[in-house]
């Protein structure tokens, strides 16, 4: 699979996984959508979360006294590991993730190209599902990487209007 085919397959997988995830929300209000990958650029997955899920997690954390820890609320709200659906519609990404693994190492710029492809897939998602994504923050995240925050901030800035990305970009301010 060449790079253009991989990007097309990634866009299609993202749309299909998003549609599956939104279909399962049962009236919950979406506020975040992310594509995640690992620092080896060998995978892609969609994560979604809702206001209701965040409020429930926050209530649990408050009862346990965890909210006293600086940054814990931002962690609950924005870390995809705490979200409602981590790797939603994962089956849609099987083919494209396999292609990423086959491509890995062909270029010194492969990680950056992978991040760019993920950002492009989310931009395509926003254009194709604009009504469903009104006011929803989109970004790319990377597990276990020193570059995660910079990638998240860059992608959020590129993918969202300023009034949407602002709260995300300020998430770690005290």
The values of phi and psi at residue 166, to 5°, are -55, -50
* pLDDT tens-digit readout, 113-156: 889 999 999 999 999 999 999 999 999 999 988 999 999 999 99
Q: Please work out, in degrees rounded to the nearest 5, the angle formed at the alpha carbon of residue 55 by the alpha carbons of 35 and 89.
A: 30
The answer, yes or no, to whether residue 1 has pLDDT greater than 90, is: no
d(CA 55, CA 137): 17
Query: Can you read off the two tokens belonging to residue 81?
Result: 């590991």
pTM exceeds 0.85: yes
* pLDDT tens-digit readout, 90-115: 899 988 876 666 665 555 578 898 89
141 three-class SS: strand
């Amino acid at each position: 699979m060449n790079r253009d085919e991989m990007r097309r397959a990634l866009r299609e997988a993202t749309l299909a996984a998003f549609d599956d995830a939104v279909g399962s929300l049962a009236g919950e209000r979406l506020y975040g959508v992310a594509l995640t990958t690992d620092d080896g650029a060998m995978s892609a997955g969609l994560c979604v979360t809702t206001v209701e899920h965040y409020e429930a997690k926050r209530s649990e954390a408050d009862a346990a006294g965890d909210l006293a820890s600086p940054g814990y609320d931002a962690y609950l709200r924005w870390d995809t590991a705490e979200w409602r659906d981590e790797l939603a519609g994962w089956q849609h990404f099987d083919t494209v993730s396999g292609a990423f693994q086959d491509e890995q190492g062909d270029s010194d710029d492969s990680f950056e190209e992978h991040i760019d492809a993920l950002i492009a897939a989310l931009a395509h998602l926003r254009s194709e599902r604009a009504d469903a994504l009104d006011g929803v923050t989109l970004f790319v995240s990377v597990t276990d990487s020193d570059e995660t925050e910079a990638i998240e901030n860059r992608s959020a800035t590129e993918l969202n209007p300023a009034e949407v990305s602002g709260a995300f970009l300020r998430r770690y301010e005290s």
